[in-house]
Structure 1
Amino acid sequence: MVSSDGHSNGDAVGSSTVGDISAPQQLFIGGEYAPSSDGGTFPVYNPMTGAKLYDCASATEDDYERAIQSAAVAQKTWSRVGPSAKRMIFLRAAEILEKYMETEAPALMSAEVSGTRFWTKVNTISGVDNLRETASLATQIKGEILPTDKPGTTVLLERQPLGVVLAISPWNAPASLTVRAIATPLICGNTVIVKPSEFSPKNQHLVVRAMIEAGVPKECLHFLPVSAERTPALTEFAVKHPLIRHVNFTGSDRVGRIIAGHAATCLKRCVLELGGKAPVIVLDDANLEDAVEAVAFGSFANAGQICMSTERVLLHESIAESFKKAFLARIESVKAGNHEEDPDVSISGLFTPASTKRVQKLLNDAVSAGAKLLCGDVAASGPRLTIMAPHVLDDVTPSMEIFQRESFGPLVCLTTFKTDEEAIELANNSDYSLSAAVFSKDVMRALEIARQVRAGSCHVNNPSVYLPAGTPNGGIGGSSGYGRFGGMAGVLEFTEIKIISMGPSGVKYPI
């Protein structure tokens, strides 16, 4: 028997460890929890304090092989499960995950990813809503009947599952993005191998637990954490494995390019949702109070560690000074600090000390190149110097690295423009293409600009960090990747068209 914490009751660590952060985390393969085939583990640390949290099993090539083979066999049965049964499983999973997010997730998210109470709530709402929204897709996976000139012949187009999907999910929104990585592939009849981030295995394991407890057949969903040292080789092995039919990955554009390169060698489809450098255009007629509120949220939620975070604010020159004054006043209420000591802080630590140093370097280089620091002191605090206050840079130009490179930290760059055309040009002066926003009281004017901004989503009078459940999210090339999660667009990604023709008997062919 398997306990809900992911350990067999016969193990030294059993069911009494539910909610015990220090308990080891095992692999989940073929419906069973087990150590890695060679006994390898890696430590998971609290990023803010550096304290060791627990040991996590580190999967091997043999473990991945076993999981992939098991998933391939299970997929033949899972693909035939009816839509109503799948829908009920997903709805139950949403209820179970919601309970986990209320009971276990706050402590796990705090420990593994420095998640504040607000960020746990965001993950709860997003993850649970996405499960419920995906459940509604069960009866929407439809085909077509095509007309044909051949008498007595019918041509059917069916949407069929691909097979085994490799899902590589990140640490920054561990529950929400793990749901996104596995939900649509599963509802489409695929089976899934989950490779979680080495920074947040237990947070991501909550989603797998919820799905299995809700009734997803155990062989259909496998959970294989991997140490940082083993990740490059294991990722290449899994991506190139002939039984892996599709790969989805959310993370940095650097790693996304590596995965895309592996997939290209075997002509394998991918969904890659990568980095962002979201621009927000504030026009001369914008409601400044609304724009300030949206930019503050979009820039500093989760300390800017969101792919859709607002990183560039483009201000019409006529309202630039008014916006800056109001924005700096609003930031005074954004409280940065140690969330473990003060649960009411808005911003807590970045995910590694190295991340803090990278953000500091971007800031210092921009100031050296002529940018003006309006807010923040480029300092860090906390036991491992991972806590940074909000930073605002003015007079940032496209030639500066900070204008072009994703910071993934609590900073935002301000740049002024004179015309709508210049604003669009500035917004599109980036290799990223994930998210954007436009603020204006003239909705039709904003709509016209939104259509010309090169981004997978462009929001009018909404933050750049905005994505309702079921929305097909993704970039449109470059460093933001390609493909879509969510809604019917996700169904198209995780299914294949199958042509079936049915002809009459007695036909004579001219040969």
Structure 2
Amino acid sequence: MSFVQGPNGEQVIPIRIDGLALPVHDARLIPVESVSQCKVIHYAHSATPEIATLAADSSQRAFLKWKTSTHVQRRDLLLRTADIIDSWADRFVEVQIAETGCFEGWARFNVSNLTRGMREIASHISHMTTGELPPLEVPGSIVLVYKEPVGPVLVIPPWNAAMILSGRGMAAPIGAGCSVVLKASEMCPQTHHLIVQAYEEAGMPKGLINIVQAAREDATAVTEALIAHPSIRKVEFIGSAAVGRIIGQLSSKYLKPVLMELGGKAPAVVLKDADVKHAAGKIIQGMVMHHGQICMSTDRIVVVQDVAEELISQLKTALATTFAGKQGVAVSRKQAKRGQALLLRAQAAGARFIVGDASLNAEETSLTPTIVTDVKRTDEIFHEEIFSPAAILTVVKDEAEAIQVANDTTYGLNAAVHSRNVLNAIRVAQQIEAGQVHICETTGYDEQTLPIGGTKDSGWGRNNGKYGLAEFLEEKTISIHDPAVSKNRFGDEK
């Protein structure tokens, strides 16, 4: 199991370096509370900057060996680990539900989506690491362009898609030949440790993945110690734009490249020729899934006035029937109350609720799905990611205004366009500033063969399959010149 025994008999998620659990100190325990069980279910051991340094040192030692591994060794490790994760599916489901309060369906989706993603990454290792022989102008010369792993990678995943985002974050660097320091989320440390345990079960070399976590008050110092460490050569962060700015500033301070997938305020644009009933179902699905705690959740609804009344009616119907009670619970009471507060402050400033009332359940763990309109640019909810089963609805006069409203945000992760005219929908999609735009689908659509990432304040770089592998490879050029035929390229010698 992922646990060790704490000084007072507590179940504790340890820090693991070189495949071994570090001794637990009772003054550095992080309580992990389950919102579904309304209690602390276990603890995690919080790291220090000194421990972070040990993890990075270990990753460097492992990298020096792993970078010489063959594409077959890397591929087979990912495939064996994926098989083990699938065989532990029930265990992973139980742990995710306990730590994050998600529905069983979301937990099982995390398992299957991760293992499909790992197999997709594995299938691309051989050709993505293949070098090139570029054509040259200089006679008697050959240039070899190698694809090499960047080095040890710091991966900082969130809790909301606990398996997908952490597992993907490890699989691509390992497939490229890198080692990983995983800074597990303090919200779901057992889930993250269990994935690493699957790698260990599959025969992962010691130190290839070292895993630490930190309490909120320790996180800044631990993270900087890792980013500053000379062995860490790249950072992957998935989380909020606010924290992304901090990670970006730290990484630039130490000249470390960053792959970041940040928040979003995904718009679903409904044009006048849309299948309105279908659009409403996809919008509500994108709004309530996992209590709206997905960076790709439908945060805004932009509808052309011709079909606005019909859409609102269909949204109400979808919520009352297909998606009744499907919003689940928030990861914490604090998160549920945050979403409610955003809505109530907007209402106090003149916005209107047209669906739902922003109320919480008796346990204050779940927000009633709510759609608000008449939101002003000065309202906090206009700019902030809601991260709850709620959305802003804006009625526009035509397609041109719909595009303008969709782009009126600092974010640019996902979007959707609803129209029966595919060519028109593509034309609109091309004008929306987002990394992914989905036609007649939820804003949260994703496949392992597709690149995923953001524009604007939603980050940079791309994940999934070959696109994720490319983020952790860099080119090295080696040129060879025959002295018998090479000549001065810079003019005749004097």
Answering whether residue 251 of structure 2 is matched by residue 263 of structure 1, we say yes
The alignment partner of 1:144 has SS state of: coil
Q: 2 CA distance for matches of 1:94 and 1:485?
A: 18
Q: Deviations over 1:35-90 (max 9, x none)?
A: 35797322111134541111211122222211211111111211111112221221
2:482: which partner in 1?
504
The letter of the residue matching 2:427 is: E
The ranges of structure 1 where at least 4 consecutive aligned residues each deviate by more than 6 angstroms after the TM superposition are: none
Q: Does the aligned pair in 1 maintain the 2:284–2:323 contact within 8 Å?
A: no
Partner of residue 116 from structure 2, selected from 115, 118, 129:
129
The residue correspondences of 1:297-376 to structure 2 (distance < 5 A) are 297-333=285-321, 346-376=326-356
Equivalent residue in structure 1 for 2:402, among 401, 423, 438: 423
- Does residue 78 of the first structure (1) align with residue 66 of the second (2)? yes
SS in 2 for 1:204: helix
Q: Secondary structure at the match of 1:219?
A: coil
Determine the C-alpha separation between the residues in 2 that align with 1:224 and 1:39. 16
83-92 vs 391-400, which moves further: 391-400
Please state whether the residue corresponding to 1:229 is helix, strand or coil.
helix
Counterpart contact for 2:37–2:98, Cα < 8 Å: no
Aligned to 2:2: 5
Structure 1 position 414, deviation (Å): 0.9
Partner residue in 1 for 2:55: 67
Alignment of 1:27 with 2:15, yes or no, is yes
Q: Give per-residue Cα distances to partners, 1:350-377, cap 9 Å, x unaligned.
A: 1222222221221112222332212222
Instruction: State the AA in 1 paired with 2:136.
Output: T
> 1:69-468 maps to which residues of 2 (within 5 A)?
69-102=57-90, 104-141=91-128, 142-333=130-321, 346-383=326-363, 385-468=364-447
Asked if 1 retains the 8 angstrom alpha-carbon contact of 2:452 and 2:464, the reply is yes
Contact (CA 8 Å) 1:100, 1:206: kept in 2 or not?
no
The 2-side partners of 1:234 and 1:38 are apart by 18
Q: Which moved more, 1:427-436 or 1:225-234?
A: 225-234
Larger mean Cα displacement after TM superposition, 498-507 or 30-39: 30-39
CA shift digits 1:416-462 (9 cap, x unpaired): 11221111100000000000010111000000111110001001111
Could you tell me which residue of structure 2 aligns to residue 340 of structure 1? none
Q: Kindly provide the CA deviation profile for residues 145-176 of structure 1, in whole angstroms up to 9, marking residues without a partner as x.
A: 11222211111222110110000011111111
TM-score, normalised via structure 2 length? 0.94
CA distance in 2: counterparts of 1:227 and 1:381, whole angstroms: 29
Distance in 2 separating the partners of 1:375 and 1:350 = 19
Q: Return the alpha-carbon distance in structure 2 between the equivalents of residues 456 and 468 of structure 1.
A: 14
State the identity %: 33
The unaligned stretches of length 5 or more in structure 1 are 337-344
Distance 2:343 2:47 in 1: 38
Task: Return closer, same or farther for 1:12/1:169 CA change in 2, 3 Å cut-off.
Answer: closer
- Aligned counterpart in structure 2 of residue 43 of structure 1, from 25, 31, 38: 31
Consecutive unaligned residues in structure 2, runs of 5 or more: none
In 1, are the aligned partners of 2:361 and 2:368 still within 8 Å (CA)?
Answer: no
Secondary structure in 1 aligned to 2:264? Answer: coil
Tell me, yes or no, if the aligned pair for 2:121 and 2:171 is still in contact at 8 Å: yes
Q: Distance in 1 between matches of 2:366 and 2:227?
A: 36
8 A Cα contact 1:334 1:347, kept in partner = no
2:449 is matched by which residue type in structure 1?
Answer: G
Corresponding pairs, count: 487
Name the CA distance, whole Å, in 2 between partners of 1:73 and 1:373.
Answer: 57
Structure 2: how far apart are the matches of 1:231 and 1:225? 8
TM superposition score normalised by structure 1: 0.91
Match of 1:492 in 2: 470
Contact between 1:159 and 1:496, CA under 8 Å: does it hold in 2? Answer: yes
Aligned match of 2:456 in 461, 477, 481? 477
Task: Report the CA distance between 1:398 and its aligned residue.
Answer: 4.0
Q: Which moved more, 1:40-49 or 1:434-443?
A: 40-49
Deviation of 1:401 (Å): 2.7
SS in structure 2 of the partner of residue 451 of structure 1? helix
* Secondary structure at 2:13 match in 1: coil
Contact 1:124/1:176, CA 8 A, preserved across alignment: yes
Aligned partners of 2:214, 2:87: CA distance in 1, in Å? 27
Using the alignment, how far apart are the partners of 1:464 and 1:398 within structure 2?
22
Query: Retained in 2: the 8 A contact 1:428–1:454?
Result: yes
Check whether the contact 2:358–2:369 (CA below 8 A) recurs between aligned residues. Answer: no
Say what the alpha-carbon RMSD is for the aligned residues: 2.0
What amino acid maps onto 2:386 in structure 1? Answer: S
Q: Partner amino acid for 2:294?
A: I
